[in-house]
Amino acid sequence: MDQLRKISLIGLTFLLLSITITGIASGQNEIPDEVTWFFGLGAAVCAVVVIFWFVIWILVAIWVYRDAEKRGSSGVLWLLIVIILGIIGIIIWLVVRPPIGGHPKEQASGRMCPNCGRPIPMDSRVCPYCGKQFESFLK
């Protein structure tokens, strides 16, 4: 959010500056048209950038909200965290977010790989982690 505020401020400064320059230029006719155009264009570009950032930000916030709800977390809580902390909030969410649909099914099956001890699917013949092959189907 800090970045957004900074960009908004730069955009606003550019806008005010361009209005001032345009005012001086029209009054004294000393500043060439190119300069007026440059600042006008600068203000327009800044406005577009600010709007662009704002839209991206809203889309990201909506995504975090939906992602949190989908994974059984509070969407509103994470939305607030992202709004308050900004990019850091998004990073925290990406780190701590639980997998979709809770823990993988393999863990519920209780079948462990005899080689590496990790949970594996009930019907696998090869350990997906260490690649060990099992002689019998249900060992």
Residues at the contact surface with Zn ion, assessed by CB under 5 A? 113, 115-116, 127, 129-130, 132
How is residue 136 written in tokens? 């019998």
CA torsion sign, 98 to 102 to 105 to 111? positive
Q: What share of the chain is helix, strand, coil (3-state, %, to 5)?
A: 65, 5, 30
Q: How far is the CB of 107 from Zn ion (least distance, A)?
A: 14
Surface-to-core class of residue 64, CB atoms within 10 Å of its CB (0-12 exposed, 13-18 middle, 19+ buried):
buried
Using the minimum distance from each CB to Zn ion, give the nearer residue, 20 or 107. Answer: 107
Using the minimum distance from each CB to Zn ion, give the nearer residue, 57 or 134. Answer: 134
d(CA 60, CA 136): 48
Using the minimum distance from each CB to Zn ion, give the nearer residue, 45 or 116. Answer: 116
Q: How far is the CB of 108 from Zn ion (least distance, A)?
A: 18
Using the minimum distance from each CB to Zn ion, give the nearer residue, 22 or 124. Answer: 124
Q: How far is the CB of 115 from Zn ion (least distance, A)?
A: 4
Q: How far is the CB of 48 from Zn ion (least distance, A)?
A: 54
